[in-house]
Amino acid sequence: MTARHPRPDLTPASGNPDRSTAAGTPAPGDRHARRAWRRLRRHLGRLRVLPALVGVAVVAAACSSPAATSTPTTTPSPPHNRDHHRGTGIVGKVVAVSASSLAVDVRAATRTITLTPTTRYRQGPQDVAASTLTPGARVRVRTAANGSAAVVAILPATASGTIVALDTHGFTLHTSHGTTLAVTLEASTTYHDGTRTMTGIALEPGQKLHIQGQPGPNGSFTATKITIAAGLSG
């Protein structure tokens, strides 16, 4: 005959309740179980925080890496041409001129400017030939970015004085500054008496005039406009 063992009684006794809950949390009365549970919770908490800490460390390392740091690059600018696109350009009196350069007296200092085949020459509203530019002329030079002359504008010059002699090409004028000009008259020269424009005028020594035109070398002057004003007559 086989021996039969009594079946164990798994029903908790009254006054001694089950020490585990349905959620797996140790019963309040078990001190050792509570300590173990707290250690387990702390361990699980560290496991949850660890990935976030690793992510922060990776981002910080990437930001501090020299390869990730962008260094702005600068392109050196070309040398600045102080006369390029300036409103007035270089204004002065022509000292010397050749096929490749122009020397201009600007406030007692000589500036040498390169002339090129693309340089334009202007007199009033019209383009003129390069040969029109002569020493003594007053000019305004607008330069290109490389410093060469882009446009040379021949400016009108003026003088006032008294006619001292007549000749077949014009007259000699003794100016108010004490110099003498050999004035040449052209077919395009205009004559004015005050505000009136005249078709011609009888010039004679002793007349006081105001002239406008282009100075040339050796005291020459080509008149484009002659005015006899009340204040200048006498």
Residue 173's CATH number: 2.40.50.140
Count up the domains in the chain and report the number: 2
Q: What is the pLDDT of residues 7-25, one digit of tens each?
A: 555 444 444 444 444 445 5
Residue 60 lies in a domain: no
Point out which residues pair with 79 in neighbouring strands.
none
Residue among 108, 113, 157 at smallest CA distance from 137: 157
Residue 13 lies in a domain: no
pTM for the whole thing?
0.49
Whether 218 contacts 178, CB under 8 Å: no
Q: What is the DSSP letter of 76?
A: P
Residue 30 lies in a domain: no
User: What residue numbers bound the domain in which 180 lies?
Assistant: 157-228
Give the whole-angstrom CA distance, residue 95 versus residue 97. 7
Q: Are residues 111 and 140 in the same domain?
A: yes
Indicate if the pLDDT at residue 221 is higher than 70: yes
Give the whole-angstrom CA distance, residue 64 versus residue 122. 63
Q: Are residues 202 and 141 in the same domain?
A: no
Confidence of residue 140 (pLDDT cuts 50, 70, 90): very high
CATH number for the domain spanning 98: value is 2.30.30
Confidence of residue 86 (pLDDT cuts 50, 70, 90): very low
Whether 149 contacts 113, CB under 8 Å: yes
Q: Are residues 103 and 165 in the same domain?
A: no
Residue 210 lies in a domain: yes
